[in-house]
A and B are shown apart, each in its own frame.
Chain A
Amino acid sequence: MAIATTTSPAHHEEHKDLRVWGLLTFLVSESLMFGGFFATYLFFRGSAEVWPPEGTEVELLVPTINTIILVSSSFVIHFGDAAIKKNNVKGMRFWYILTAIMGAIFLAGQVYEYMTLGYGLTTNVFANCFYIMTGFHGLHVFVGLLLILGVLWRSRRPGHYSATKHTGIEMAEIYWHFVDIIWIILFTLLYILTLF
């Protein structure tokens, strides 16, 4: 038998910060939405004679450069996280700014690709899938960019982040890795597999 006693007045013991777990749970869920898109795409691919249909082939150069940029940015952002764990706010800011720039280049590259492809959202089922999948992913990159900018904005305040207090930074990083992983799957499905 146990008895708890206390004399502490209001504000009760705080529970530990569970935001990272919350984000991870959310991302598992989120990835299933992409899963739905991927499954749809594979369904169409499996039942088509020619895939992608003539006239809607993908372009490879820009997306490959884009992929390299996005994948490297996952390392870059990790250096930022490592920096803050050594209490190095300046270093963290440097790496996060770099990540943001790389993310912005990725988005710009995607817009450029859209403008030069020569077909649109409604051309055929392949184009439907292509634009929905890359578009939804682009939206996620954009959100990730906002998170990073948010971190940078807050880091101006002295002492806001430190070696012991950096959950926000970590969450932005995790989200960014998530966006990256989704892109790798997407790139494989939409681009690499069309080579075969």
Chain B
Amino acid sequence: MTLEIPQNQPPGSESTSVVVTESTHHHQAWKWYHYFTFNVDHKVIGIQYLVTAFVFYLIGGLMAIAMRAELATPDADLLDPNLYNAFMTNHGTIMIFLWIVPSAIGGFGNFLVPLMVGARDMAFPKLNAIAFWLNPPAGLLVLASFFFGGSQSGWTAYPPLSLVTAPIAQSMWILAIVLVGTSSILGSLNFVITILFMKVPSMKWDQIPLFCWAILATSVLALLSTPVLAAGLVLLLFDLNFGTSFFKPDAGGNVVIYQHLFWFYSHPAVYLMILPIFGIMSEVIPVHARKPIFGYKAIAYSSLAICLVGLFVWVHHMFTSGTPGWMRMFFTISTLIVAVPTGVKIFGWVATLWGGKIRFTSAMLFAVGLLSMFVMGGLSGVTMGTAPFDVHVHDTYYVVAHFHYVLFGGSVFGIYAGIYHWFPKMTGRMMNETLGRIHFILTFIGTNLTFLPMHELGLQGMPRRVAMYDAQFTHLNEICTIGAYILGLSVIPFTINVLWSWVAGKKAGDNPWNALTLEWTTSSPPLVENWEVLPVVTHGPYDYGVNDRGSKIQSIAANS
């Protein structure tokens, strides 16, 4: 038994978190095979989400590479156009519904939220496990749909296209999305209740880590928007299989209704993807720059603001659907407003980096990489938020360039940053920094090489969602394809790094980065119920430099 008490502090000083243990029993850690079973521990579930999502990322990535290989030349010489459409649709679907959302929210959210607020588990552990296990069958449905032609109408599944191509595959696609949607509703409910009700009493509201604020906002958004998508998809399913005609214009239906229902979810979905990543950024940057985060409150509230405004801008995806002028006006303005809270965050991170003692770890590299990419994607987003320009570039590669900057640069970079940052906590071992750096350089070059030329392609008028294109676009497309191959390669050092480090990496210790949030006060990997004795919070999560006792956080593992 160990007992450590921090030495004389001035009364009332913001100081350390202290964990004192006097317990006599031993908490077991999980064995590897527990990760393959119905386990109710939030940490196991978090890792289950992350690993499953990564597998889907590889599958979705292979589809992307196949598409880029096809697009290396103007003709459809590799995939026939139907197959191209199926790859395109399922690539988008997998990347969004089975990679970013489950890894950012399900993976990091589950692993971190209870640890960060000082809870032993999520509020409803069983529900949590159920939510995870809805994902693998959804993924299998998407993959199996290829045996029925694969859904070909794009990840938006707009009718009438979705009603006339591959009906069985489309129905499987709908079921898959309903499954992941249910998973996300159940998970979000759990996060909301956990954050609101289960933080340790000593943690004040302005001491909740920003990642948790982000997950809270994300969850509210998911709870309010996902069921609306479900409604739309149910109607589509009935149209496909049971003879209704909600979206069949020749029988009195209306396709624009589908677009409203779809975008009421899918616009907020972009924040579902990006808010947790913003949360990751707000954790990684102060730790590796060793500075208090700039504007804690502004960053926390801007998450909530994004969540609210995000619910009211969906129509900007429908500027070209015969939307009346006043609506275009309204939604142009509200869209541009979202740039404000986003700008607040970016400003906060840059200000945090400014003059910090930056450690260029792999996690930090990816975080800084994200900043640069996201600014680029954000700017092209603002251009498209204005209706006149959007009408010009609609359904061209400009759009493809924009959302890949945001999704790849703004999300995948963040997930990588998060993995490099929390891997020591998750596994008890450090990742290899050299491999991490190689991984970063390949990813950074690959991303820009793949997606930067697409802006130009779009401005020149190359349409998206086609397997064949006019020969004048060949040259730029070749560059994109080379970039995609580099991105494909970039996964190799990462995968090797994770597998090797997990088994044989350097032992991490409890707090290798000297971070101040609560997850670092337990052992690495954490005990089954997180702490022997719940930690007591006596200072904010980012008080670096305020007093350097930050580095003296003490945590005593049970079996020390």
Partners in one complex: yes
List residues of chain A with CB within 8 A of the CB of B246: 40, 125, 128-129
Judge if B155 is at the interface, Cβ distance under 8 Å: no
A41 CA to B19 CA in the complex, in Å?
Answer: 57
A47 CA to B534 CA in the complex, in Å?
Answer: 59
List residues of chain B with CB within 8 A of the CB of A9: 23-25
List residues of chain B with CB within 8 A of the CB of A39: 257, 260-261
A39 CA to B265 CA in the complex, in Å?
Answer: 14
Residues of B481-539 contacting chain A, CB below 8 A: 529, 532-536, 538
Question: In whole Å, how far is B416's beta carbon from the nearest beta carbon of chain A?
Answer: 31
Judge if B252 is at the interface, Cβ distance under 8 Å: yes
When the two chains form their complex, are residues A30 and B538 in contact, meaning their CB atoms are under 8 A apart?
no
Nearest-CB residue, chain A, relative to B5: A3
Q: Which of B85-93, B206-214, B227-235 lies at the binding interface?
A: B227-235
Judge if A116 is at the interface, Cβ distance under 8 Å: no
When the two chains form their complex, are residues A6 and B227 in contact, meaning their CB atoms are under 8 A apart?
no
When the two chains form their complex, are residues A33 and B227 in contact, meaning their CB atoms are under 8 A apart?
yes
Nearest-CB residue, chain A, relative to B123: A18
Residue from the list A30, A31, A36, A125 in contact with B252, Cβ < 8 A: A125
List residues of chain B with CB within 8 A of the CB of A16: 197
List residues of chain B with CB within 8 A of the CB of A37: 231, 235
Judge if A61 is at the interface, Cβ distance under 8 Å: no
Interface mask (B190-230 → A, CB under 8 Å = 1, otherwise 0): 10110011100010000000000000000000011111111
Judge if A164 is at the interface, Cβ distance under 8 Å: no
Judge if A115 is at the interface, Cβ distance under 8 Å: no
Nearest-CB residue, chain B, relative to A31: B227
When the two chains form their complex, are residues A29 and B189 in contact, meaning their CB atoms are under 8 A apart?
yes
Nearest-CB residue, chain B, relative to A40: B257
Q: What is the size category of the interface that chain A forms with chain B?
A: 35 or more
A5 CA to B232 CA in the complex, in Å?
Answer: 53
Residues of A129-161 contacting chain B, CB below 8 A: 129, 132, 136
Question: In whole Å, how far is B448's beta carbon from the nearest beta carbon of chain A?
Answer: 39
- Chain B residues with a Cβ closer than 8 Å to the other chain, count: 62
A121 CA to B20 CA in the complex, in Å?
Answer: 65
List residues of chain A with CB within 8 A of the CB of B330: none
When the two chains form their complex, are residues B536 and A6 in contact, meaning their CB atoms are under 8 A apart?
no
List residues of chain A with CB within 8 A of the CB of B25: 9-10
A23 CA to B264 CA in the complex, in Å?
Answer: 23
List residues of chain A with CB within 8 A of the CB of B22: 5-7
When the two chains form their complex, are residues A122 and B243 in contact, meaning their CB atoms are under 8 A apart?
yes
Interface mask (B3-34 → A, CB under 8 Å = 1, otherwise 0): 00110010001011011101111010000000
List residues of chain A with CB within 8 A of the CB of B192: 25
A44 CA to B258 CA in the complex, in Å?
Answer: 12
Judge if A32 is at the interface, Cβ distance under 8 Å: yes
When the two chains form their complex, are residues A125 and B245 in contact, meaning their CB atoms are under 8 A apart?
yes
Question: In whole Å, how far is A69's beta carbon from the nearest beta carbon of chain B?
Answer: 27
Judge if B120 is at the interface, Cβ distance under 8 Å: yes
Question: In whole Å, how far is A139's beta carbon from the nearest beta carbon of chain B?
Answer: 11
Residue from the list A3, A43, A44 in contact with B20, Cβ < 8 A: A3
Judge if B148 is at the interface, Cβ distance under 8 Å: no
When the two chains form their complex, are residues B245 and A128 in contact, meaning their CB atoms are under 8 A apart?
yes
- Knowing A26-B185, A121-B242 are in contact, say whether A44-B254 is a contact too (CB < 8 A): yes
Residues of B242-288 contacting chain A, CB below 8 A: 242-246, 251-254, 257, 260-261, 264
Question: In whole Å, how far is A24's beta carbon from the nearest beta carbon of chain B?
Answer: 10
Judge if B146 is at the interface, Cβ distance under 8 Å: no
Residue from the list A1, A12, A18 in contact with B529, Cβ < 8 A: A12
Judge if A22 is at the interface, Cβ distance under 8 Å: yes
Q: Contact residues of A with B, CB < 8 Å?
A: 1-10, 12, 15-16, 18-19, 21-22, 25-26, 28-37, 39-40, 43-44, 47, 121-122, 124-125, 128-129, 132, 136
A-B CB contact pairs (8 Å), 10 listed: A4-B536, A7-B23, A21-B193, A25-B189, A25-B223, A44-B252, A44-B257, A121-B243, A122-B245, A125-B253
Known: A1-B9, A18-B123, A128-B245. 4 other contacts (CB 8 A): A33-B227, A36-B228, A40-B261, A121-B242
